[in-house]
A and B are shown apart, each in its own frame.
Chain A
Amino acid sequence: MHEFSLAQEVCRLAEEVLEREQGVAVRGIGVAVGPEAGVELESFRFCLEALLLDPPFTGARAELLPAPGDTLRLTFVEVDDGRPDH
């Protein structure tokens, strides 16, 4: 179940991005996962979705994207800046 540790690290990285971008909430994250990354996709998704229930992620969606080799990267974070739509 190292997928949980990986999901925690993804959330930590996403929180860093949120802080850097001065947003108020994360609405979505994308993670690229290769077939040799040693990640069981459904388990990883389950862990991510569990962690994304809590602030600052409330309601955030997790998108797992195919990638080559042992890739394991955070590829995007959707940051809500809390301001009304322009």
Chain B
Amino acid sequence: MAVRIIELRERVMARNDQLAADVRQVLTDAEVTAFNLVSSPGAGKTALLERTLETLGEELDIAVVTGDVQTQNDADRLARRTDRLVQAVVTGGACHLDASQITEAVKAIDLDHTRLLFIENVGNLVCPAAWDLGEAAKIVVFSVTEGEDKPLKYPAVFSRSRYAVLNKVDLLPHLEFDVPTAIANAHRVNPELRFFLTSAVTGEGLAEWFDFLRSQVRPAAIW
């Protein structure tokens, strides 16, 4: 048998990154700002989105793509607050969304009437970091019940996010969590990371989060 060695320099992520670039172009052309929300399970992505949709869903023409793995729970919760929800096709056990799923999901969204798009990734701080979905920025959500060293344990997702939401701050009186230490740890990994401190339960800190989102979208058209 003749075996030949074919030398290559083929990037393993090349196909995903090309699809993501195509998604980014479509969203840019439509002037839709897309955020990819990543977090560990239970940090409060869905609760944060619920509060955001309640207050800004109509004002900012928000659409949502969600990628819950095994259940309809997140989709059902969000569907009570918006009719602009698209479920990504996620096969059981998948640990992240990829750009091909977003390509399909974006086709189902009326981009002319969308100014802000949230992609709620699968709850996982490791895998989603590697997949570009065509978003304007990743937003990492973590909570004060998780430990100040989370950014050091999961540097990839913190270094590839532009914004961080530290959620559940209403629980701080009951915990030994030190907010400045957590923020310092995150800034060791990514000095540019901008923080929002929120409680999706009490509403603390949400006004700043909402103002930030308002600043990120194109002006509303006059219909």
Contact = CB atoms under 8 A, between A and B. Distances in A.
B8 A77 contact: yes
Contact of A38 (B1, B11, B129): B129
Given A36-B156, A72-B11, A73-B8, A80 B2 contact: yes
B15 interface: yes
B15 A9 contact: yes
B3 A2 contact: no
Contacts of A2: 95-96, 126-127, 130-131
Interface residues of A, number: 32
A13 B12 contact: yes
A62 interface: no
> Secondary structure of the A side of the interface?
mixed
Given A27-B3, A79-B4, A82-B1, A73 B126 contact: no
A26 to B, nearest CB: 10
A23 B9 CA distance: 19
Contact of A73 (B6, B11, B96, B98): B11
B5 A78 contact: yes
Contacts, number: 80
A9 B16 CA distance: 10
Nearest to B129: A38
B10 A73 contact: yes
Given A2-B130, A5-B98, A38-B130, A72 B12 contact: yes
A78 B4 contact: yes
> Secondary structure of the B side of the interface?
mixed
Given A2-B95, A85-B1, A10 B12 contact: yes
B1 A76 contact: no
Nearest to A75: B8
A46 to B, nearest CB: 15
A17 B6 CA distance: 8
Contacts of B130: 2, 6, 37-38
Contacts of A36: 156
Interface in B1-28: 1-13, 15-16
Given A21-B4, A73-B10, 16 more contacts: A2-B96, A2-B127, A9-B13, A10-B12, A13-B12, A27-B3, A37-B130, A38-B130, A72-B11, A72-B12, A74-B11, A75-B8, A76-B5, A78-B5, A80-B2, A84-B1
Interface of A: 1-2, 5-6, 9-10, 12-13, 17, 21, 23, 27-28, 31, 36-38, 72-86
- What are the nearest 5 A-B pairs in CB distance? A2-B127, A74-B10, A72-B12, A38-B156, A38-B130
